[in-house]
């Protein structure tokens, strides 16, 4: 799950999960600890304490639920699910950053980005960041290993496909 579309496209709460919100979006305030406060309000103080630990491990889990947090200066997002989940938000990146970010992009993604100026670079990047959070590797798993493609999630939706090292061992 990732979010790179303008704030107006977010719903305050989306897709309830067993009586809890599975995606919560709120306005951020610089230096106000909004992310930690949002985790505490929705998930409880135990989840907040885990989120605030400098040695926390990903994916984050509390009370039998997985959660992921992302924020910018203007927006904070909390995603919750029954399985490992990752979320990322970014301001729309200018397309002229493609050259600087080529190390993280697959050949297919580079070809797609050559087609025009739009928010696809941000969509690709946030999908890769979210996948790294869900896997618990962050970007240490080498973002180029995360292949992304447009998803069926509407505007800004993108899927991240991750080839896990052990998949080859399971075949054959």
Q: Is residue 161 within 8 Å of residue 149, measured between CB atoms?
A: yes
Q: Which residues pair with 159 in a beta bridge?
A: 149
Structure letter (DSSP) for residue 3? B
Q: Is residue 34 within 8 Å of residue 41, measured between CB atoms?
A: no
Higher pLDDT, 61 or 118: 61
pLDDT at 14: 40
Rg (CA), the chain: 16
Give the rounded distance of the alpha carbon of 155 from its chain centre.
15
Confidence of residue 172 (pLDDT cuts 50, 70, 90): very low
pLDDT at 19: 55
Say what percent of the chain tops pLDDT 70.
74
Q: Which whole number is the average pLDDT over 14-22?
A: 54
Q: Is the pLDDT of residue 48 over 70?
A: yes
């Amino acid at each position: 799950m990732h979010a790179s579309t303008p704030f107006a496209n977010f719903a305050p709460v989306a897709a309830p999960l067993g009586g809890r919100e599975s995606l919560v979006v709120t306005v951020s305030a610089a230096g106000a600890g909004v992310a930690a406060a949002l985790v505490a309000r929705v998930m409880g103080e135990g989840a907040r304490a885990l989120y605030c630990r400098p040695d926390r491990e990903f994916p984050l889990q509390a009370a039998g639920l997985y959660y992921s947090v992302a924020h910018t200066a203007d927006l904070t997002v909390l995603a919750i699910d029954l399985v490992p989940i990752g979320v990322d938000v970014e301001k729309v990146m200018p397309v002229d950053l493609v050259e600087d970010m080529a190390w993280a992009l697959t050949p297919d993604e580079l070809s797609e980005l050559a087609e025009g100026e739009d928010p696809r670079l941000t969509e690709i990047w946030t999908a890769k960041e979210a996948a790294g959070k869900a896997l618990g590797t962050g970007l240490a798993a080498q973002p180029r290993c995360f292949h992304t493609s447009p998803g069926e999630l509407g505007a800004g939706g993108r899927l991240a496909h991750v080839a896990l090292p052990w998949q080859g061992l399971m075949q054959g």
